[in-house]
Amino acid sequence: MFEKVLIANRGEIAVRVIRTCQELGIATVAVYSELDRDALHVRLADEAYALGGQTAAESYLNTEAILDAIARSGAQAVHPGYGFFSENTDFARAVTGQGVVFVGPPPEAIEVMGDKISSRRAAEAAGVSGVPGHTEPVTDQAEVTAFAETHGWPVAIKAAFGGGGRGMKVVGDPAEVAEAMESAQREAQAYFGRPEIYLEKYLDWPRHIEMQVLADTHGNALWLGERDCSCQRRHQKLIEESPAPDFPDDVRQAMGAAAVTVAKACGYVNAGTVEFLYQEGEFFFLEMNTRLQVEHPVTELVTGLDLVEWQLRVAAGEPLGFSQEDLRRDGHAIEVRINAEDPTGGRFAPSPGRITLLVPPGGPGVRLDAGYESGDTVSQYYDNLVAKLVVWGPDREAARRRMLRALRETVVRGVATTIPADLAILDHPDFAAARHSTRWVEDRVDLTTLPALGGQAPPAVPADEPEPRVLREVTAEVDGRRYTVKLWVPEAAAGAPAGARTGPRTSRPRVTDAGTGSGTVTVPMQGTIVKVLVAVGDVVEVGQTVCVLEAMKMENAIAAEKEGTVREVKVSAGDSVGAGDVVAVVE
Ligand code: ADP
């Protein structure tokens, strides 16, 4: 086994990997951007190296800086987590080129599964069918219309190199085709650097069920069980569970076998996930994710396996210590994603900022995988996943009730979170009865009545609290390597708490709605304008989109809050804007 592992990631997944390494007695190396100098993953790791930069591109996607940290730390293996470099073959090859192990599949397997078109082809060649669709990119509007005439509307226009629910547009009739193609291509180019799009039939009430696989370098490939990830908004997962409810065991066995077939067909090694859409007893291959998934803990809770441990063991050349028949799945696990997003009115607006207070839930069967603690900041530059709350129960209903209890116990202040939406979903009779599908949250759950800031508005400031001394950890960087020095300082001089237990701080509630109602349309956060939809002289209604802002890896519609005529448009596509900047004036 390795003695030292570098984790080329941040947030909860870096913390997750560090924890298993600690349990296995492996020394851990963190890397960090300028904004993450005091982040939880850095605090937990045995040593840490500065990558410089703020944005992902400048830091966690800076190959040279990471390779340099690997060399300087003497790490024998690199765990990429998910996102960032986890599915980047250039990075994987650069790592192995340095004689260091990349904890993941061989680059060839990543390449075959790396885009949706080539993975569909590979699965179909192995005899596993995908959703009816194309295996060639589409460029012409007429192809979309022709496809719909054969397969029926609606049609899904998908980014061939897409992921994370981005870059997919659903078109219901010919009039929407042009705009959907343009928007899908624009998002695909912006997020994935490749504009190619292709077509699939859009299934109308499917469930997203995916199969965890694990393969070693000795020819063993097993399926560990499925996860139902149907609770989504904007095609991004919100809640995941295992086993999938109301899922016949013969279908499970067939899906497991199909997943292993796909894995073997691409020479897969390490942990991977084969995603399917399931509708009316049939399942269709969607894609394979060649990395650890965000939602892997639900599989861990029902199988009792530590997937990160097995990733490391497999990467170190160990054979899987069990067979398909040895695997046991017990009880039911549910995971809820707690994102820094304001679900008020069902809008899920990004809500970066300082977490003034985070109180994790406790009690039986509860696990919180968080990337932050009280005092930490959720940056607008990175994914806004604050934590994953995962519970286990002997059956689904017990797990559902336990999750409701644990969510109500969880306190997050300073940023808005998806907790109120998660509660509304778990409490819904359709969820309890497992009548959900991938469209259920958006079509059937009324989130428009959710209260502002999720009912977790910061408390009033206690006026006469004594000023105690607090423990401050001061970071010193010596030649790019991070050292921590501890100091006791008066709280007033301590400034912002970073890891020190200073009790709840307060902050003013964030205003995340676009515009002020006065006709001045502003953006709620820093980002880039990707499209302006109005011109001076246009008449707009309340709620009409004025421009599209790309921020926190999402396209956000910035809407007029007042009816009237557009008097001024202050931005154009490509402009960078800051929080509160005025983009248009309506009178
Ligand atoms: P990503 O790589 O962005 O996660 P996927 O292809 O895995 O994209 O799809 C994400 C989600 O989008 C699925 O879970 C499902 O909800 C929806 N989806 C994707 N393709 C289809 C389709 N053809 N029909 C219906 N829903 C789809």
Query: Domains along the chain?
Result: 4-103 (3.40.50.20), 132-201 (3.30.1490.20), 462-497 (no CATH), 520-586 (2.40.50.100)
517 lines ligand 1 (CB under 6 A): no
CA 409 to centroid of ligand 1, rounded, Å? 32
Lowest mean pLDDT among 24-38, 99-113, 195-209, 485-499: 485-499
**With 50 as the cut, is the pLDDT of residue 139 above it?**
yes
What is the pLDDT averaged over residues 24-32? Answer: 98
206 lines ligand 1 (CB under 6 A): yes
What is the pLDDT averaged over residues 111-130? Answer: 94
Lowest mean pLDDT among 35-39, 154-158, 190-194, 253-257: 190-194
Nearest to 276 by CA among 211, 222, 225: 211
Sign of the alpha-carbon dihedral angle for 508, 513, 514, 519: negative
**With 80 as the cut, is the pLDDT of residue 583 above it?**
yes
Predicted confidence at residue 514, as pLDDT, reads 38
| Ligand 1 pocket test target in 168, 211, 284 with most atoms within 8 Å of CB | 168
**How many CB atoms sit inside 10 A of residue 380's CB?**
21
pTM for this entry:
0.81
Predicted confidence at residue 580, as pLDDT, reads 83
480 vs 65, higher pLDDT: 65
| Ligand 1 pocket test target in 87, 228, 235 with most atoms within 8 Å of CB | 235
The full 3-state SS of 387-445, as one line of letters, equals EEEEEEECCHHHHHHHHHHHHHHCEEECCCCCHHHHHHHHCCHHHHCCCCCCCHHHHHC
**With 60 as the cut, is the pLDDT of residue 465 above it?**
no
What is the pLDDT averaged over residues 526-532? Answer: 87
Predicted confidence at residue 539, as pLDDT, reads 92
**With 60 as the cut, is the pLDDT of residue 455 above it?**
no
Sign of the alpha-carbon dihedral angle for 491, 492, 498, 503: positive
What is the pLDDT averaged over residues 155-175? Answer: 87
Tell me how far apart the alpha carbons of residues 110 and 105 are, in angstroms, rounded to a whole number: 7
Q: How confident is the model at residue 493 (pLDDT cuts 50, 70, 90)?
A: low
| Ligand 1 pocket test target in 199, 286, 295 with most atoms within 8 Å of CB | 286
Of the chain, the percentage scoring pLDDT greater than 70 comes to 91
Q: How confident is the model at residue 492 (pLDDT cuts 50, 70, 90)?
A: low
**How many CB atoms sit inside 10 A of residue 511's CB?**
14
Encode pLDDT of 325-351 as tens digits. 999 999 999 999 999 999 988 888 999
Contact 529, 583 (CB under 8 A): yes
Lowest mean pLDDT among 50-59, 87-96, 129-138, 468-477: 468-477
Predicted confidence at residue 40, as pLDDT, reads 98
Residue 174 per-residue DSSP state: G
What is the pLDDT averaged over residues 466-492? Answer: 75
Sign of the alpha-carbon dihedral angle for 427, 429, 434, 440: negative
What is the pLDDT averaged over residues 540-550? Answer: 88
Predicted confidence at residue 434, as pLDDT, reads 93
What is the pLDDT averaged over residues 28-54? Answer: 97
CA 478 to centroid of ligand 1, rounded, Å? 46
Predicted confidence at residue 135, as pLDDT, reads 86
**With 50 as the cut, is the pLDDT of residue 501 above it?**
no
Q: Measured from the CA of 284, which atom of ligand 1 is nearest?
A: 23
**With 50 as the cut, is the pLDDT of residue 185 above it?**
yes
Of the chain, the percentage scoring pLDDT greater than 90 comes to 73
**With 80 as the cut, is the pLDDT of residue 507 above it?**
no
Predicted confidence at residue 472, as pLDDT, reads 78
Encode pLDDT of 282-323 as tens digits. 999 999 999 999 999 999 999 999 999 999 999 999 999 899
Predicted confidence at residue 481, as pLDDT, reads 87
CA 165 to centroid of ligand 1, rounded, Å? 7
Encode pLDDT of 378-425 as tens digits. 999 999 999 999 999 999 999 999 999 999 999 999 999 999 999 999
518 vs 83, higher pLDDT: 83
DSSP 188-216: HHHHHS---EEEEE--SS-EEEEEEEEE-
Encode pLDDT of 196-220 as tens digits. 999 999 998 999 999 999 999 999 9
